């Protein structure tokens, strides 16, 4: 199939309050560039699915909210007129049709003739490498196969944007990791606009050009995977995306001070500060100089790396991953050195 | 989805129209006619003042209650037996017991005539034993047998489903605690079946209350409410009384079903 | 648990007695319908004479019953299936009210319903005299069963997700209904259809009041033959009725097992 680019999607002031008064989404602005893969990441109930359904046209935003595709207002258009492709969490494959009929369905309602739509459906099936399944009933497919058929069906209509609602939530971990790579390659090859909802941070980091971290109906941070991972905007983002260490203390005169010691950094004075960093953003140093000094509590050898749990004098635990060549034993005192630019101060 | 809301309204409209024209309107007419007799709106009270009607009402209530209790008793024994015993031909027996499910009342009446009528099987059997011919089809007893015939299959369907769902571990636990078989039945099994018992009992009661076909086939002389309504309407052309009696009958059956639906939760809903 | 010996025997006896109570008269009637003389028993020989007489006397009622049952089925499908979808879609207070009103005829004795229909529409002579009058009564009585059967299956297959899927692919509401809702509700529609046809063919309570000498249905004819014909003819007629209705009941039993959420069965003596 020919590569194509999708539409730019813009949300302006889109909030959602349901009929029973619960507020799922605070009014927010967001734009997705044409061809970009944007991941909406957050715990369940954070409003990410509601946001996706507003883009799709399955929910309408509260008064004043607007949805634009390539600058054209589509807020009043129902989903069937928006030309989006959607992959549902349950896949929503039609049990009364076989695989090919499912994939061709979007073309069928667009009035494409039977022979032509079968040919187009087969093309997409081939691209997804599931052409052998064309005649199967949906009930005869495995979870991973269903997932691919759902994706093929959404792509077959050449949508302006593809919207994926936790498409891998129903699959087991190993399959998820495998399909993650496939979906990533596919979305990049087609350079189609994609909005991907997930609560799995690994999926978000692997797939997103940008990640929107959401919490209780609001956007907590928007950024590239690297930004979100290494410089989380706040403690929530930090804790939701990967393992995070957190040291609390103060900043005075260009030095961060906590119970474990002090460390130089470039920041204005703060009476209360928290230093956030990832396990792999720090190094352990033998024979510690001044700086931050912690006591080793536990060492887990993991082959390529070892995971060291350390403890500050005020009993805060810090996890650091280091190369295994360092001989470390519980009880030792180690110096903690942070890579510049790989921590955040909040 | 908004676009589907309009379609939903469009789809409901014909149903609305049909229900309004052929259910709500006629029912309103029934209420009006019931109040248009010589006694006016007091026709309802006039029913109560007429000792024959009161007697009929009491007889119908007693008959329906008796049929419900008997059906439930037999149904519980059979349902528990079939739910717990596996033997060759069990599926066939279950089919045989539930097949008469939708025999209409007239046919059920004929079955009772064949069983206990003047040339019935029971009569022939008792005569062959040297006794008098046993004939009871054309009386309250015949009606009782007819309603039993009618209610048993549908009560069985509900009770068997409920009995299959009972957790045998509960009974075993009760036995392990020293409960006798009777105590287990009283304290564990029957309480477990009670939603189904209430539901199917209500259906049996309601159907017996409104039954007409069986009574019509067996004899027009049996004084049950449905027969009284029929004779008042067709033979005496007493529309007001017939309407008032119909409304009373409808209210009683609907009330019993609504009451038990609240008691037993869902499941009684589509009672026939 | 180890069954208690005496309890087991008693239960078995009660079960067999119930089965005999239900089956023996039905078998006796079938046999009587093809026996030359019921009082002499099978010794008198088997014959199709009574069946022939019934067909000569009552074939009109059989045809009318089938026609009315099919007509009732058509109307309940057209009225019921779309409405069931609309009612199951959004459980609101209005939809519950509509459901309650529409299912009310099941809880009200047929005699009362028939009386109400006659009082309201008896004056429209052409309507009163036509089989349509009976058809209306049958639709009123069977519609709740169709509604419930379809609504139960719609709740079971999560048709909402499938509709959203179809909508995302560009299908209009009407296309979604015919391409996705109806095919996936087939089981419920079929179960409902069997129920409607079975109930309509056997309906007597309403029909006896609604019929005219020219619009006699099978059960009306049956009642007539029970009152005025010899036992063999009544039995032969009943046999013909069984031939019509037993396959439907067997199919219904099979579907009842496949469809656990199907509504309670109905009908009234």
Chain A residues within 8 A of B3 when measuring between CB atoms: 78, 80
Tell me what the mean pLDDT of segment A98-119 comes to: 94
Closest CA to B112 of B4, B215, B203, B265: B215
Distance CA C245, CA A129 (A): 52
| DSSP annotation string for chain B | -HHHHHHHHHHHHHHHHHHIIIIIHHHHHHHHHHTSSTTGGGHHHHHHH-HHHHHHHHHHHHHHHHHHHHHHHHHHHHHHHHHH---TTHHHHHHHHHGGGG--HHHHHHHHHHHHSTT-HHHHHHHHTTS-----TTSHHHHHHHHHHHHHHHHHHHHHHHHHHS-HHHHHHHHHTT--HHHHIIIIIHHHHHHHHHHHHHHHHHHHHH--HHHHHH-TTS--HHHHHHIIIIIS--HHHHHHHHHHHHHHHHHHHHHHHHHH-TTSTT--
C-beta separation of C192 from C182 below 8 A: no
Q: Are strands A333-338 and A282-285 parallel, antiparallel or unpaired?
A: antiparallel
Q: What share of chain C is helix, strand, coil (3-state, %, to 5)?
A: 80, 0, 20
C-beta separation of A156 from A120 below 8 A: yes
Distance CA B32, CA B44 (A): 12
pLDDT at C260 over 50: no
Q: Quick one: tokens of A3?
A: 């590569």
Q: Quick one: tokens of B116?
A: 């206990």
The CATH fold assigned to A243-339 is OB fold (Dihydrolipoamide Acetyltransferase, E2P) (2.40.50)
The residue that leads in pLDDT, A327 or A132, is A132
Tell me what the mean pLDDT of segment C152-173 comes to: 90
CATH of A9-237, one of 3.40.50.300, 3.30.300.130, 1.10.10.10, 3.90.1150.10: 3.40.50.300
Sign of the C-alpha dihedral computed for residues C190, C195, C198 and C203 taken in this order: negative
pLDDT given at position B268: 37
Distance CA B156, CA B145 (A): 16
> Could you say which residues from 155 to 184 on chain C have a Cβ atom under 8 Å away from some Cβ of chain A?
157-158, 161-162, 164-172, 175, 179-180, 183-184
Helix (H, G, I), strand (E, B) or coil at C179: helix
C-beta separation of A41 from A222 below 8 A: no
The residue that leads in pLDDT, B41 or B81, is B81
pLDDT 10s digits, B19-32: 889 988 998 888 88
Query: Where residue C46 falls among pLDDT bands split at 50, 70, 90?
Result: confident
Write out the residues of chain A at the interface with chain C, using a CB-CB cutoff of 8 A.
56, 58, 78-81, 83-86, 88, 90-96, 105-106, 109-110, 153-154, 157, 163
pLDDT given at position C69: 95
Query: Where residue C96 falls among pLDDT bands split at 50, 70, 90?
Result: confident
Query: Which residues are A218's β-sheet partners?
Result: A215
C-beta separation of A271 from A259 below 8 A: no
C-beta separation of A14 from A57 below 8 A: no
Tell me what the mean pLDDT of segment A169-188 comes to: 86
Tell me what the mean pLDDT of segment C163-173 comes to: 93
Q: Who contacts B144 (Cβ-Cβ below 8 Å, separation ≥6)?
A: B63, B66, B67, B70
Instruction: Among A135-139, B103-107, B236-240, C265-269, name the one with the lowest average pLDDT.
Output: C265-269
pLDDT at B257 over 90: no
Contact between chains at A60 and B3 (C-beta distance less than 8 A): no
Distance CA B242, CA B225 (A): 10
Q: Who contacts A143 (Cβ-Cβ below 8 Å, separation ≥6)?
A: A170, A171, A172, A175
Closest CA to A10 of A44, A34, A26: A34
| DSSP annotation string for B75-88 | HHHHHHHHHH---T
Closest CA to C237 of C17, C60, C14: C60
Taken as a whole, chain C contains a residue count of: 269
Residue of C nearest to A91 (CA): C165
Most A CBs within 10 A among B3, B7, B8, hence the mutation to make, goes to: B3
Q: For domain B46-264, which architecture applies?
A: Orthogonal Bundle (1.10)
**Percentage, residues of chain C above pLDDT 90:** 43
How far C74 CA sits from the closest chain A CA (Å)? 23
Element (H, E) at A283: strand A282-285
Rounded to the nearest 10°, the torsion over CA B58, B62, B63, B68 is 140
CA-based diameter of chain B, in Å?
A: 78
Is the minimum CB–CB distance between C148 and chain B shorter than 8 Å?
A: yes
Instruction: Among A337-341, B90-94, B141-145, C169-173, name the one with the lowest average pLDDT.
Output: A337-341
Tell me what the mean pLDDT of segment A254-282 comes to: 86
The residue that leads in pLDDT, B219 or A160, is A160
Out of C18, C109, C139, name the one closest to residue B210 (CB). C109
How far C85 CA sits from the closest chain A CA (Å)? 17
> How many CA atoms, within 13 angstroms, populate the side-chain half-sphere of residue A206?
16
Is the minimum CB–CB distance between C222 and chain B shorter than 8 Å?
A: yes
Chain A residues within 8 A of B8 when measuring between CB atoms: none
Instruction: Among B50-59, B128-137, B234-243, C90-99, name the one with the lowest average pLDDT.
Output: C90-99
Q: Quick one: tokens of B127?
A: 């005569």
pLDDT at C248 over 70: yes
Contact between chains at B2 and A58 (C-beta distance less than 8 A): no
Residue C263 domain flag: no
pLDDT 10s digits, A213-225: 999 999 999 999 9
Residue C268 domain flag: no
Out of C105, C112, C163, name the one closest to residue B249 (CB). C112
Roughly how many angstroms between the first and final C-alpha of chain C, as a whole number?
Answer: 39
Tell me what the mean pLDDT of segment A73-95 comes to: 92
Query: Where residue A162 falls among pLDDT bands split at 50, 70, 90?
Result: very high
Query: Where residue B264 falls among pLDDT bands split at 50, 70, 90?
Result: low
Distance CA B7, CA A246 (A): 56
Chain C residues within 8 A of B16 when measuring between CB atoms: 98
How far B122 CA sits from the closest chain A CA (Å)? 54
Contact between chains at A58 and B1 (C-beta distance less than 8 A): yes
Chain A residues within 8 A of C169 when measuring between CB atoms: 80, 85, 105-106, 109, 153-154, 157
Distance CA C225, CA C235 (A): 9
How far C63 CA sits from the closest chain B CA (Å)? 18
| DSSP annotation string for A218-282 | EEEEEE-HHHHHHS-SSHHHHHHSS--EEEEEEEETTEEEETTEEEE-----EEEEEEEE-GGGE
pLDDT given at position C3: 61
Highest mean pLDDT among A279-293, B182-196, C249-263: B182-196
Query: Where residue A1 falls among pLDDT bands split at 50, 70, 90?
Result: very low
Is the minimum CB–CB distance between A109 and chain B shorter than 8 Å?
A: no
Chain A neighbors (3+ CB pairs < 8 Å): B, C
Q: Are strands A72-73 and A23-32 parallel, antiparallel or unpaired?
A: unpaired
Query: Where residue A112 falls among pLDDT bands split at 50, 70, 90?
Result: very high
CA-based diameter of chain A, in Å?
A: 77
> Could you say which residues from 153 to 172 on chain C have a Cβ atom under 8 Å away from some Cβ of chain B?
163-164, 167, 172
Closest CA to B141 of B198, B72, B34, B66: B66
Chain C neighbors (3+ CB pairs < 8 Å): A, B
Q: What integer best gives the mean pLDDT of chain C? A: 86
pLDDT given at position C1: 53
Helix (H, G, I), strand (E, B) or coil at A214: strand
pLDDT at C40 over 90: no
> Could you say which residues from 36 to 75 on chain C have a Cβ atom under 8 Å away from some Cβ of chain B?
38-39
> Could you say which residues from 71 to 90 on chain A have a Cβ atom under 8 Å away from some Cβ of chain B?
78-80
Q: What integer best gives the mean pLDDT of chain B? A: 84
Count of structural domains within chain C:
1
Contact between chains at B8 and C106 (C-beta distance less than 8 A): no
Contact between chains at B11 and C11 (C-beta distance less than 8 A): no
pLDDT at A5 over 70: no
Distance CA B139, CA A154 (A): 70
Distance CA A209, CA A224 (A): 6
pLDDT at B267 over 50: no
C-alpha gyration radius of chain A:
24
Contact between chains at B212 and C3 (C-beta distance less than 8 A): no
Q: Quick one: tokens of B96?
A: 């045989």
Contact between chains at C171 and A105 (C-beta distance less than 8 A): yes
Residue ranges of the alpha helices (H) in A37-172?
48-56, 99-109, 114-127, 143-156
pLDDT given at position C267: 43
Closest CA to A312 of A253, A243, A263: A263
Query: Where residue B270 falls among pLDDT bands split at 50, 70, 90?
Result: very low
pLDDT given at position B99: 83
How far B7 CA sits from the closest chain A CA (Å)? 14
Distances (CA, A) of B96 to A267, B102, C26, C29, C238: 87, 13, 11, 16, 18
Query: Where residue B220 falls among pLDDT bands split at 50, 70, 90?
Result: low
pLDDT given at position A42: 92
Q: Where do the domains of chain B lie?
A: 1-34, 46-264
ipTM metric: 0.84
Query: Where residue A34 falls among pLDDT bands split at 50, 70, 90?
Result: very high
pLDDT given at position A3: 43
pLDDT 10s digits, C234-246: 999 999 999 998 8
Burial of B257 (0-12, 13-18, 19+ CB in 10 A): buried
Contact between chains at C268 and B211 (C-beta distance less than 8 A): yes
> Where residue C238 sits, what CATH number does that domain have?
1.10.3720.10
Contact between chains at A94 and C169 (C-beta distance less than 8 A): no
Instruction: Among A112-116, A198-202, B258-262, name the one with the lowest average pLDDT.
Output: B258-262
Helix (H, G, I), strand (E, B) or coil at A307: strand
Chain C residues within 8 A of B246 when measuring between CB atoms: 109, 111-112, 115-116
Q: Where do the domains of chain A lie?
A: 9-237, 243-339
Contact between chains at B2 and A78 (C-beta distance less than 8 A): yes
pLDDT given at position B47: 74
Query: Where residue B266 falls among pLDDT bands split at 50, 70, 90?
Result: very low
């Amino acid at each position: 199939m020919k590569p194509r680019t999708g539409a730019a999607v813009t949300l302006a002031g889109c909030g959602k309050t349901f009929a029973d008064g619960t507020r799922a989404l605070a009014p927010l602005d967001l734009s997705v560039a044409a061809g970009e893969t944007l991941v909406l990441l957050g715990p369940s109930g954070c409003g990410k699915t509601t946001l996706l359904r507003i883009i799709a046209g399955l929910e309408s935003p509260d008064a004043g909210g607007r949805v634009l595709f390539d600058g054209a207002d589509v807020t009043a258009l129902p989903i069937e007129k928006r030309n989006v492709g959607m992959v549902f969490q349950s896949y929503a494959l039609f049990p009364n049709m076989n695989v090919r009929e499912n994939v061709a369905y979007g073309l069928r309602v667009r009035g494409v003739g039977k022979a032509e739509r079968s040919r187009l459906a087969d093309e997409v099936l081939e691209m997804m490498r599931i052409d052998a399944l064309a005649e199967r009933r949906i009930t005869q497919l495995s979870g991973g196969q269903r997932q691919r058929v759902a994706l093929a069906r959404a792509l077959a209509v050449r949508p302006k944007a593809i919207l994926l609602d936790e498409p891998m939530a129903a699959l087991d971990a190993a399959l998820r990791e495998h399909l993650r790579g496939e979906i990533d390659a596919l979305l990049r090859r087609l350079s189609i606009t994609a909005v991907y909802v997930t609560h799995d941070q690994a999926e978000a980091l692997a797939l997103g050009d940008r990640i929107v971290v959401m919490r209780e109906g609001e956007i907590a941070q928007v950024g590239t995977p690297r930004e979100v991972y290494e410089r989380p905007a706040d403690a929530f983002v930090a804790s939701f995306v990967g393992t995070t260490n957190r040291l609390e203390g103060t900043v005075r005169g260009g030095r961060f001070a906590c119970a474990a010691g002090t460390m130089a950094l470039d920041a204005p004075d703060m009476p209360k500060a928290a230093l956030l960093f990832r396990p792999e953003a720090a190094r352990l140093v033998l024979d510690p100089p001044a700086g931050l000094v912690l006591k080793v509590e536990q060492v887990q050898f993991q082959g390529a790396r070892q995971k060291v749990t350390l403890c500050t004098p005020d009993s805060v635990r810090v996890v650091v991953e280091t190369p295994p060549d360092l001989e470390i034993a519980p009880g030792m005192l180690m110096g903690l050195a942070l890579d510049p630019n790989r921590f955040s101060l909040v | 989805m908004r676009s589907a809301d309009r379609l939903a309204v469009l789809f409901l409209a014909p149903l609305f129209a049909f229900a309004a024209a052929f259910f709500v309107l006629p029912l309103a007419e029934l209420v009006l006619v019931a109040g248009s007799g010589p006694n006016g709106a007091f026709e309802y009270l006039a029913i109560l003042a007429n000792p024959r009607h009161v007697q009929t009402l009491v007889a119908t209530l007693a008959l329906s209650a008796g049929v419900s209790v008997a059906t439930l008793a037999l149904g519980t024994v059979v349902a528990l037996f079939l739910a717990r015993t596996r033997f060759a031909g069990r599926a066939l027996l279950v089919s045989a017991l539930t097949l008469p499910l939708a025999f209409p009342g007239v046919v059920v009446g004929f079955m009772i005539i064949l069983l206990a009528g003047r040339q019935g099987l029971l009569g022939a059997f008792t005569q062959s034993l040297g006794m008098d011919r046993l004939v009871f089809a054309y009386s309250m007893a015949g009606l009782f047998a007819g309603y039993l015939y009618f209610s048993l299959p549908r009560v069985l369907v509900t009770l068997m489903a409920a009995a299959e769902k009972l957790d045998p571990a509960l009974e075993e636990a009760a036995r392990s605690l020293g409960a006798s078989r009777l105590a287990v039945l009283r304290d564990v099994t029957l309480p477990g079946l009670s939603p189904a018992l209430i539901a199917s009992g209500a259906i049996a009661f309601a159907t017996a209350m409104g039954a007409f076909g069986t009574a019509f086939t067996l004899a027009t002389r049996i004084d049950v409410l449905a027969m009284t309504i029929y004779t008042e309407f067709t033979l005496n052309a007493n529309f007001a009384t017939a309407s008032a009696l119909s409304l009373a009958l409808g209210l009683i059956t609907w009330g019993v079903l609504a009451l038990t639906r609240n008691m037993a939760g869902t499941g009684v809903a589509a009672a026939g | 648990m180890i069954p208690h010996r005496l309890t087991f025997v008693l239960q078995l006896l009660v079960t067999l007695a119930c089965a005999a109570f239900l089956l023996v008269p039905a078998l006796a009637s079938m046999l009587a319908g093809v026996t030359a003389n019921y009082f002499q028993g099978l010794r008198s020989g088997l014959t199709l004479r009574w069946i022939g007489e019934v067909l000569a006397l009552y074939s009109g009622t059989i045809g009318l019953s089938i026609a009315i049952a099919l007509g009732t089925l058509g109307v309940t499908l057209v009225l019921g299936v779309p409405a069931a979808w609309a009612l199951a879609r959004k459980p609101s207070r209005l939809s519950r009210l509509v459901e309650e009103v529409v299912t009310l005829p099941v809880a009200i004795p047929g005699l009362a319903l028939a009386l109400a229909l006659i009082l309201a529409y008896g004056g429209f002579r052409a309507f009163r005299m036509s089989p349509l009058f009976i058809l209306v009564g049958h639709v009123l009585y069977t519609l709740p069963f169709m509604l419930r059967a379809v609504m139960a299956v719609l709740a079971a297959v999560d048709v909402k997700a499938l509709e959203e899927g179809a909508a995302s692919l560009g299908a209009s509401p009407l296309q979604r209904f015919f391409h996705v809702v109806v095919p996936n509700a087939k089981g419920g529609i079929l179960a409902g259809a069997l129920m409607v046809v079975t109930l309509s063919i056997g309906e007597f309570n309403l029909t006896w009041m609604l019929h005219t000498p020219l619009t006699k249905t099978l059960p009306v004819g049956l009642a007539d033959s029970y009152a005025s014909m010899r036992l063999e003819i009544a039995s032969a007629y009943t046999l013909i009725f069984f031939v019509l209705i037993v396959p439907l009941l067997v199919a219904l039993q099979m579907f009842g097992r496949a469809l656990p959420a199907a509504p309670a069965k109905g009908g009234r003596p």
